[in-house]
Structure 1
Amino acid sequence: MAQQKTPDVDAAYGLDGPEAAKRLYEGWAETYDTDFAAASGYRAPGVVAAAYAAAGGAGPVLDVGAGTGLVGEALATLGVGPVDATDLSPEMLEIARGKGVYRALIEADILQGLPVEPGLYAGMVSAGTFTHGHVGPEALDELLRAAAPGALFVLSVHEGVYAPSGFEAKLDALGEAITALSLTPERIYAEGSDSPHADDRMFVVAFRKAL
């Protein structure tokens, strides 16, 4: 019998649909923080949280594609809350639950809609969700629905998908529905990372929902 391949970034980047994502993260949840995030110097969650706090972001916040709760942990250290988590993977959310930084955990596929009332959140954060093989720009409509007028968004978008997958076009098409759009290029991994993707970069995309 062939040995099952250990989940890694290449497997994540090659995902094809939500069921494939669920299977991957089911097998990765328990080791994600140590074998991936810590071992590779994954800095996106901390960068997103710091940018949100620096821009005056407050709660309640929705952590989109929260995974094991790395952004939530970073927000907690910065005194930002309350924070809710949403993710497709129940196994990843169980790891996040154990960290005690979330008010609520919402298992959902954002592309199918979130089970929350319109205008609930004062902010939206996300790290690692808008990347190869994951969620496309069409999710922004649902996030805007769940955000209050004036809500702050701080989202990481992999540089490799920003234009090719339509994020640039979508943000432009949103027009007056959003304000104060900014893009800040950042490394996804720390200097000296031995990850095969050590040189990958992201845009930290920040904007506010119009009043």
Structure 2
Amino acid sequence: MTDDEHDLDGAYALRTPADSVRYYRDWAASYDSDFAEAMSYQSPAVIAAAYVALGGQGPVLDVGAGTGLVGESLAEAGIGPVDGLDISAEMLETAAEKGVYRRTIVGDLTRELALGDAAYAGCVSAGTFTTGHVGPEAFDELLRVTRPGGIFAVTVHGVFYETAGFAAHFAGLADRIAGFRTEPFRIYGPGAEGEHRDDSGWVVSFRKS
């Protein structure tokens, strides 16, 4: 990466929503080139493909949309409309410039979202559910804003799937979700470098009952 102050180690060290706001505010302008391109970041395309394979339709909420990488992949697949949600207004400004979102929404996933009940036919997310960002409790609120039968396709970082309580929380949602499935994947492509180049995660998918 070319940015000495913004990298994966810095992102993984975030602990509070305020930390994330500060960190991504200054990373927004260079995120796509210094991180996504440099690390051959595969998660956005992987999640878009998973959503399409499950029969996902719009309107869909892109959770932790960042600079709009998932939105771009969904648009290429003909999925829309897509709304982008993120805690960083600056990241969303970059996302909005790509013209793939119906609207962008600044929101904190650790709190109640200013979104209506059953507003979306599905939720997607790439790279949000990892250390220091958002815990599994956010799925309670995301289920609220998703219609019955709505599809979820999200990534969870492999290191934190068990230790951060994601596995246990999903098990606790058994009466509210159906078709739960996990598939392993590599987060970065062959062009990635550095100590995180071999990081892996889970594509988690299910439907709201």
- Aligned-residue sequence identity (percent) comes to 53
Cα deviation for residue 54 of structure 1 reads 1.1
Cα deviation for residue 170 of structure 1 reads 0.3
The residue that corresponds to 1:95 in the other structure is 94
Q: Which runs of 5+ in 2 are unaligned?
A: none
SS of the aligned residue for 1:181 comes to strand
More helix by share: 1
Deviations 1:152-175 (A, max 9, x none): 000000001101000000000011
Q: Which runs of 5+ in 1 are unaligned?
A: none
The residue that corresponds to 1:156 in the other structure is 155
State the Cα RMSD in Å.
1.0
Separation in structure 1 between the aligned mates of residue 194 and residue 203 of structure 2, nearest angstrom: 20
The residue that corresponds to 2:18 in the other structure is 19
The residue that corresponds to 1:174 in the other structure is 173
Separation in structure 1 between the aligned mates of residue 154 and residue 147 of structure 2, nearest angstrom: 16
Report the TM-score, using the length of structure 1 for normalisation.
0.96
Q: Any conservation in 1 of the 2:38–2:191 contact (CA below 8 Å)?
A: no
Q: Are 2:152 and 1:141 aligned?
A: no
Separation in structure 2 between the aligned mates of residue 16 and residue 113 of structure 1, nearest angstrom: 19
The residue that corresponds to 1:188 in the other structure is 187
* Count of aligned residue pairs for this structure pair: 207
Q: Which amino acid aligns with 2:82?
A: V
Q: For 1:6-45, list aligned pairs within 5 A.
A: 6-45=5-44
Q: Which amino acid aligns with 1:94?
A: E
Q: For 1:1-80, list aligned pairs within 5 A.
A: 5-80=4-79
Q: For 1:98-113, list aligned pairs within 5 A.
A: 98-113=97-112
Separation in structure 1 between the aligned mates of residue 195 and residue 69 of structure 2, nearest angstrom: 21
Deviations 1:111-161 (A, max 9, x none): 111111100000000000001211000100000000000000000000011
Separation in structure 1 between the aligned mates of residue 200 and residue 139 of structure 2, nearest angstrom: 21
SS of the aligned residue for 2:38 comes to helix
